[in-house]
Structure 1
Amino acid sequence: MFLERFFNYLQYEKRYSQHTLTAYKNDLLQFENFLTEFESDFLTVNHQQIRTWMITLLDDGIEARSVNRKISTLRAFYKFLVKEEILAINPVLKVQAPKVAKKLPAFVEEAKLITLLDSASVFESGFVGVRDKLILELLFGTGIRLSELLGLTISAIDLNSQTIKVLGKRNKERIVPINHSLVNQIKDYLRERLVVITDTNMTSFIVTEKGEQAYAKLIYRIVHRYLSLVTTQDKKSPHLLRHSYATSLLNHGADINAIKELLGHASLAATQVYTHNSIERIKTIYKQAHPKA
């Protein structure tokens, strides 16, 4: 079946994450259901039907950004079918995705995060409090993604060189520095971790109270709980701390190419979006400080 071959290609050759694979599967299932209205299928569809699907999604209130992602799924899918000679013509080639207004990445103000993380009363004593604080410190102090945090192993932590080895998108490794304060917090956490670990073969760095590997929903709950104390942002997610990390580095004069490497971006274009936040901050300072602003 060509669908199974496509997903094997994404998983084993392109090395896409499970999250991305699930998104692709959902997009294709939704598109397949839509095609039944035309008594069509993946192999008989034409570009007019794809355009109609796109317009229907927009009319249903789906954001242009989300529609673009679905069209990207179709592009990858039909490019694969043509490559495998299952189809002769790619029906997506004549489809132009809707334009998306540039959205600046949201972030939490540096001062608010520092106040939160330095508070002696916010985090409880014992394993849970130490772990929760470390999760926030790692996300804000290194800019790693949620999946990268969950993928950290004990062996990836090098306290002597003050670095962590991160496995990023498409299994690309990178080394990220950590500061002296974070080193001490990791030492505290490792001591507390010994108390809850029952499986001596557990290699995952971040674990639950039962000593099992941490999972995405747990990290989301932890981040949302503490960020609610300092921000009214709608999405209080781990990625918000990644944005905050990048924005703070730029505001303190870090070179954008260095930030690109630290974040594990494949291209500089992905990093440059953070410069807009930095420019907006400069404009605000100018308006507040200059007599003729």
Structure 2
Amino acid sequence: MANKIVSEKNKPARKKLRDNEYYNPKTKRYEYHYTDCLGKKRVISSYRLEETDQLPKGKKSSKSLREKEAELTAQLDNSIDIDGAKLTLLEVMDRYLQFLYNRKKLAHNTKVGYNVTVNTLKQYKLGYMEIGKIKPEHCEDWLVDMKKKYRGSSIQTQISLIKRVFEYAIDRDYVIKNPFRGITTDRSDSKNMEAISVEDMNRFLEFCSKDTNSAHCYDMIYVLFWTGLRASELCGLTLDNIDMSNRLIKVEKQLQCINHTHVVLPTKTAKGYRTIPMTDGVYECFERILKNRYLKGDIEPVCYDERGNAYEGFVFLATRSRKTIVRSHVEEYLANCIKRFNNANSDNPIRKFEPHICRHSFATNFQYLPPKTLQYILGHSKISTTMDNYVDVKPSSEQLLQINVVAKQLICN
């Protein structure tokens, strides 16, 4: 009773306080006392009781006590974890990623992608906001700023992770709704992921086969274009993976660079373990590769997996050092060859592309294979990944030829 009497005595004139509302004469703030869903006693406060009240001179603007009470009531009615709601987006993301890593083993590149999102979010105010205070308008402002610096596909990848973080927060009663639910962006740079045309591919490969400085890369680039291998899978091939008798390539591992060390890792997914048939051209490339393979000082490079198992006999080695190569080396070799080609064909250059586009080109060029066969060769877990993300529509001229071929076959039958 004493507290209530003191509060009544010191409350400002003409301010009628509700149950559990008090005026603190020492801080000159209005207070609301409550018990959260975990039974913990808490207090929220403000210099203003109502939204229309005047803010004391020199004080920083904030929500009135009644506004805070309304938000709090909504949280309590939905059993929101008040402490969880006060965590920043980056803190919740860290919890989510730890949960994810403990639940299942993720590919190295997947973890790298998640770290990119974390480091990018650290550059924005959104990452340091309490997750319970993030509204759709904050997310939209973040998206506007992101579009000034990053490509559409990169932004969409980060949006995907942040959405899952909020769903994680909802499951744990940190928030009621997902403010990122309606946030999306177009993949404005998707054109860069289109396959290289057959004409440009053949022009480029022919140049590499004849150019003095590019010839050493020809077989490697040809294999990328005509097998659909990921660059890391190509780097992970060892001599025992090449079955020349049956013209097959066994894909069972990849070679990645982790903390400046070349590490043997499992394939990206379980479906990545597969056997790829060689075309005649790929077979001829491997004949040359194996015939011309040599070691510097007869020392076989050795790489280890995460359990300490040793691997040697890698098919593709660096041109000069004869050490193992990883994707960054393949990217460098390819970029140099493209540069030489464009210097020699300034009137009809080709666009710059990365090794993964060779994989897209393979998928597009071989789209007439049975879909499940193409899915298997590419090592995709879902057919939708193959058909929606990798196979581009052929030009109208090629569609015309193909539809007539099929039509003639049907007439003959």
| TM-score (normalised: structure 2) | 0.56
Asked if residue 170 in structure 1 is aligned to residue 273 in structure 2, the reply is: no
Q: CA deviation at 1:214?
A: 0.4
Matches within 5 A, 1:106-185: 106-118=194-206, 121-122=210-211, 129-130=215-216, 132-166=217-251, 167=253, 168-171=267-270, 172-185=272-285
Q: Could you tell me how far apart the structure 1 residues matched to 2:396 and 2:149 are?
A: 30
For structure 1, list consecutive stretches of 5 or more residues without a partner in the other structure.
287-293
Q: Say whether 1:75 aligns with 2:160.
A: no
Task: Give the 5 Å matches for 1:112-261.
Answer: 112-118=200-206, 121-122=210-211, 129-130=215-216, 132-166=217-251, 167=253, 168-171=267-270, 172-196=272-296, 198-199=299-300, 201=302, 202-208=312-318, 209-228=320-339, 229=341, 232-250=349-367, 253-261=368-376
Q: Out of 88-97 and 187-196, give the one that drifted further.
A: 88-97
Q: Tell me the C-alpha RMSD between the 2 structures.
A: 3.5
More helix by share: 1
Whether 2:143 is the aligned partner of 1:54: answer: yes
How big is the shift at 1:224? 2.2
How many aligned positions are there? Answer: 277
Whichever structure has more strand as a proportion of its residues is 2
Instruction: Name the CA shift for 1:86/1:203 in 2 (closer, same or farther; >3 Å).
Output: farther
8 Å Cα contact 1:32/1:41 also seen in 2: no
3-state SS of the aligned residue for 2:218? helix
The TM-score, its normalising length taken from structure 1, stands at 0.75
Q: Distance in 2 between matches of 1:170 and 1:44?
A: 37
Quote the offset at 1:268 in angstroms.
2.4
Gaps of 5+ in 2: 1-90, 254-266, 303-311, 343-347, 403-413
Code of the residue aligned with 2:294 in structure 1: it is L
The residue identity in structure 2 corresponding to 1:277 is: V
- Taking the aligned partners of 1:86 and 1:148, their CA distance within structure 2 comes to 42
Q: Find the structure with the greater CA-based Rg.
A: 2
Assess if the C-alpha contact under 8 Å between 1:260 and 1:268 holds in 2: yes
Q: Report the Cα distance in structure 1 between the residues aligned to 2:269 and 2:101, rounded to whole angstroms.
A: 9
- For the 8 Å contact 2:231–2:356, the answer to whether it is kept is yes
Contact kept? 2:200, 2:350, Cα under 8 Å: no
